[in-house]
Chain A
Amino acid sequence: MKRRIGAAGLSLFISATLVITGCAQQKILDKMGLSVVIGYDRVDKDRLLGTNVLHQFDPMASESVQIVASTAYTSKGTRDKSNLEMAKKAVSGQLRVTLYSEQLAKEGIINLVDTLARDPTIGARVFLAISKGRAHDILKHRYPEFGNIGTYMYQTISQNIEGESMISPTLHDFMHDYSSVGRDTILPYLEQRGKEGNELVISGAALFQQDRMVGVIPTKEVFYVKLLRDRFQAGSIEISIPREVLGKYMKVSQKKRGNDPIFLVLDTLSSSSTFKLVDKNRPQINTEIKITGRLQEVSEVVDLSKPEIIHKIEKAISQAMMNEGNKVIAKLQKLETDPIGFGEIYRSSVRHSNLTRDKWYEMYRDAKLNLKVEMTLVRTGVIE
């Protein structure tokens, strides 16, 4: 009895397996065009221009990427239209970056991002980025220094995230911040530079109010947003302190160089922050940040063997970071965008706050957000 079931079972199982593999849609690599980057632009009032950068698997092809652009009313519509001019079917399983033009981002991009999140073939680690000018122009341009714009763009962004000079802009982060009550998205801002636009640079970060872009901050200020929003584990920064701090420790010849600030480079930064909501009616949040780091470079010759000099430098750095940080916070408040997530701190410290976005923006505008920084120099390299 049992053996009969076994034999019948095996044959049925095998046939079922065959049938199932026949039924499912096949995906043969040679017949696929793998989208690596997709760029979106606004063409007119309601049409989109989708630019698809595809990997080529054809060894005979002279270019390793193929770029296809088409216009339609929806993002998936542009993909279907692109297929009309391609020998291979475009699939998005290898999608790494989606690029939105600044103009489009200012109108809001949630419907374009939402379709990515809805699609099970797209991973949560896809990067989102904003382009200065048209995304199409950036993708279509032939860069002499690198062949494959798709992987290049991906690596540029991911390298900078790992180096902690950019805030992680993955699809997950976007959707997370978008649907949080008290935090806004921040995405890398790419632009073409150099002669004939042959270089591709992350020149800053685009600030958002929910899904609508409201401004850009330069990379220097991104540091402070990251400092407040995440933790540093191995970042680096160039910072300036006033000359008079170290004035009396300098040689006479150096003193004469006028009043230019002294520049310092700190690396292997690690930071931790504590937030404290002091007043909940008229929100006041005190932030204390402790940073440790290594002094890597000083633009002047300074004797670093004396503890008092180190302490002076530490103090000056803390002061400089505090000033800069507070300036950045004020700027963000003015733009009414909260990439740092003070709203979440408010929500999580006030019971039954029933915080909504609108409520928070209202409070955020004139909230008192104080920053205090305490810097410790752990070491100064291999020589004192």
Chain B
Amino acid sequence: MEITVKPKANLLFSSYLLLFVIVGNQVGIGVMGFQRIIFREAGHDSWISVIIAGISTHLVAWVMLKTLDLYGSTDLYGIHEDVYGKWLGRIFSSLYIAFLLMGALIVLRNYIEVVQTWMFPDAPAWLFAVLLLFLMVYGVSGGIRVIVGFCFLSLFFTIWMLLLLIYPYQYAEWIYLSPVMEASMIQLLKGAKEMTLTIVGFEILYFIFPFLKEKEKAGRYTHLGLLLTTCCYLLIMIVSTIYYSEDQILQAIWTTFMMFNVIQLPFLERFEFVGISLWILAIMPNLLLYTWAATRGMKRIFQWKQKHALYLFTIVLFGVSIFLNTRLKINALNDFSGKFSFYIVYVYPFILFIIAWFRKWLKRKI
């Protein structure tokens, strides 16, 4: 396997689109109900946890970019091979592929759960799985440029929903934010850690990096994207805190959608139905990017055809998502993946950077 990747010029895309990729892959399923997990730790100071989590993403993304810069133009699979050698590298890369698939699985399964709870309680899960996976196969077959284009559209189709926070804001009670900083630093950090599931997604940087036209501009757009996501989350968190009482947040499963409950328009009694249906546009980038990165791994490590890997993964995703059929199992999956992602997304990049940097340094010495 070649360590450096030099995709054909017609596959490259402009760097500013990286912003949409980062936001598209971060915003997905977590934002529908991240409030209560953080509230459990940090209470009404959760918004501070959101800021802390946001800042940490900048730090991690910076390290990721530094690691990638050491090689010029490569992806995580190339770095793994260089750092760990052929066999160990393959094992690490396979683990990462499993992690990526888990990301796709979580998005898929949680979205189906939301649709079933709110809109079609009597429609079977497999049907939605088939529909979503079909769209996913269609998108991933189109290649990276199609996926990036979709991310671009997806942001514009969903970001206006932030304006809807005006409705719950009418019921706002600012008193619920005070006293500020009642939670201890440890609680705030714990809360920030619970943000993991919601805020991850920017690790896609590792895979998409070689496809950028101007690689030196990657940092700027990555950080802009991360900032945008953090601002959205912060806004949602603050509005939820002042709209709900603490116990209400702790009970609500999909707090963000629950807030839509208060919107009543003359021509549309219940807005959630529109919101949830449109949310498919926000979760598709997750599905597409994660699966694409995973199939790309199969191609890079095992020289599979990307198409074959895609079919295999689709069947796996379908099977597992059918198996996870109750709220309890889904919660267990979310909890597990939250913990797992924390180490993979937050801790691992630092370790990888140190090893990679050390190797480069050794080579230069010799």
Binding site for B on A (CB under 8 A): 2, 5, 9, 12-13, 16, 19-20, 23-25, 93-94, 120-121, 123-125, 172-173, 175-177, 179-181, 341, 344-345, 348-352
Binary contact readout B305-317 vs A (1 if CB under 8 angstroms, 0 otherwise): 0000000000000
> Would you list 26 pairs from A and B whose C-beta atoms are within 8 A, ordered by A residue?
A5-B138, A9-B134, A9-B138, A13-B134, A16-B134, A20-B123, A25-B121, A123-B261, A123-B262, A123-B264, A123-B270, A124-B258, A124-B261, A124-B262, A125-B264, A176-B244, A176-B245, A176-B248, A177-B245, A179-B245, A179-B251, A344-B175, A348-B175, A349-B179, A350-B179, A351-B179
Contact present for B179 and A348 (CB under 8 Å) = yes
B323: interface (CB < 8 Å): no
Bound together, the chains give a CA A350 to CA B272 distance in angstroms of 37
Task: Give the distance to chain B from A184, nearest Cβ to Cβ, in Å.
Answer: 12
CB < 8 Å: which of B117, B123, B134, B179 contacts A12? B134
- Whether A24 contacts B246 by the Cβ 8 Å rule is no
Say whether A172 contacts B175, CB under 8 Å.
Answer: no
Task: Report B-chain residues with C-beta under 8 Å of the C-beta of A125.
Answer: 262, 264
Contact partners of B118 in chain A: CB under 8 A: 120
The answer to the question of B120 belonging to the interface, with a C-beta cut-off of 8 Å to chain A, is yes
Smallest Cβ-Cβ distance to B124: which chain A residue: A23
Question: Contact: B141 with A5, CB < 8 Å?
Answer: yes
Select B127's contact among A16, A124, A350, beta carbons within 8 Å. A16
Residues on B with C-beta less than 8 A from A172 are 171, 261-262
Closest residue on chain B to residue A1 by CB atoms: B141
Taking a contact as CB atoms under 8 Å apart, the answer to whether A179 and B246 are in contact is: yes
A93 pairs with B182, CB closer than 8 A: no
Q: Is A352 in contact with B182, judged by CB distance below 8 angstroms?
A: yes
Q: How far is the CA of A175 from the CA of B258 in the complex (A)?
A: 13
Contacts of A181 in B (CB 8 A): 245-246
> Inside 8 A of A94's CB, which chain B residues have their CB?
269
- Give 1 or 0 for each of B214-248: 1 = CB within 8 Å of chain A CB: 00000000000000000000000000000011111
Distance, CA A123 to CA B119, complexed state (A): 14
Q: Flag B247-263 by CB within 8 Å of A: 1 or 0 each.
A: 11001000000100110
Q: Are B138 and A16 in contact (CB under 8 A)?
A: no
With A19-B127, A123-B264 given, name 7 new contacts (CB 8 A): A2-B142, A20-B131, A25-B122, A93-B270, A125-B264, A344-B173, A349-B178
CB distance from B175 to the nearest CB of A (A): 5
Q: When the two chains form the complex, which single residue of B138, B176, B248 contacts A175, counting CB atoms closer than 8 Å?
A: B248
Are A23 and B175 neighbours in the complex by a CB distance under 8 Å?
no
Distance in angstroms between the alpha carbons of A374 and B65 in the assembled complex: 61
Contact B134 A24 (CB under 8 A): no
What's the tally of chain B residues with a CB closer than 8 Å to chain A? 36
Q: Tell me if B95 counts as interface (CB < 8 A to partner A).
A: no
> Please, what's the 1-or-0 string for B145-185, where 1 marks a CB less than 8 Å from any CB in chain A?
00000000000000000000000000101011011001000
- Chain B residues in contact with chain A, CB under 8 A? 117-124, 127-128, 130-131, 134, 138, 141-142, 171, 173, 175-176, 178-179, 182, 244-248, 251, 258, 261-262, 264, 269-270, 272
List, in ascending order, chain B residues with CB within 8 A of A13's CB: 131, 134
Q: Which residues of A contact B142 (CB under 8 A)?
A: 2
Which residues on B sit within 8 Å (CB–CB) of A350?
A: 179
B44 and chain A: residue at smallest CB distance: A348
Shortest beta-carbon contacts, A-B, top 3: A179-B247, A124-B261, A348-B178
Return B252 CB to nearest CB of chain A, in Å: 9
Contact residues in B for A341 (Cβ distance below 8 Å) = 175
A-side contacts of B262, CB under 8 Å = 123-125, 172
Question: How far apart are the CA atoms of A23 and B178 in the complex, in Å?
Answer: 48
Measured CA separation A94–B269 after assembly (Å):
8
In the complex the two chains form, what is the Cα distance from A9 to B124 in whole Å?
21
Which of A16, A25, A344, A351 interacts with B131 by CB under 8 Å?
A: A16
Q: In the complex, which residue of chain B has the Cβ closest to the Cβ of A349?
A: B179
Contact status of A120 and B175, CB under 8 A, knowing A5-B141, A16-B127, A20-B127: no
Interchain CA distance A350-B175 in the complex, whole Å: 12
Q: How far is the CB of B121 from chain A (nearest CB, A)?
A: 8
A348 B176 Cβ-Cβ under 8 A: yes
* Cβ contact of A24, chosen from B120, B176, B272, cutoff 8 A: B120
Instruction: Give every chain B residue within 8 A of A20 (Cβ-Cβ).
Output: 120, 123, 127-128, 131
- Tell me, in angstroms, the Cα distance from A120 to B128 when the chains sit together: 19
**Separation in Å of the A20 CB from the closest CB of chain B?**
6
Which chain B positions have C-beta within 8 A of A25? 120-122
Rounded to whole Å, the gap between the CB of A189 and the closest CB of chain B is: 22
Q: Is the CB of A120 within 8 A of B117?
A: yes
Residues of B within 8 A of A349 (CB): 178-179
A312 to B308, CA, bound (A): 88
Query: A94–B118 Cα gap in the complex (Å)?
Result: 16
Closest to A275 in B: B175
- Give A351 to B310 CA distance when docked, in angstroms: 54
Instruction: Give the Cβ gap from B269 to chain A, nearest Cβ, in Å.
Output: 7
Considering the chains assembled together, what is the distance between the CA atoms of A359 and B117 in angstroms?
37
Nearest Cβ distance between residue A52 and chain B, in whole angstroms?
19
Bound Cα distance A349, B118 (Å):
38
State the CA gap A5–B135 with chains docked (Å): 11
Residue of A nearest to B142 (CB): A2
CA distance A214 to B171 in the complex (A): 25
Nearest CB on A from B278, distance (A)? 17
A9 CB, min distance to chain B CBs, angstroms:
5
Q: Which of A12, A23, A344, A351 contacts B182 (CB 8 A)?
A: A351
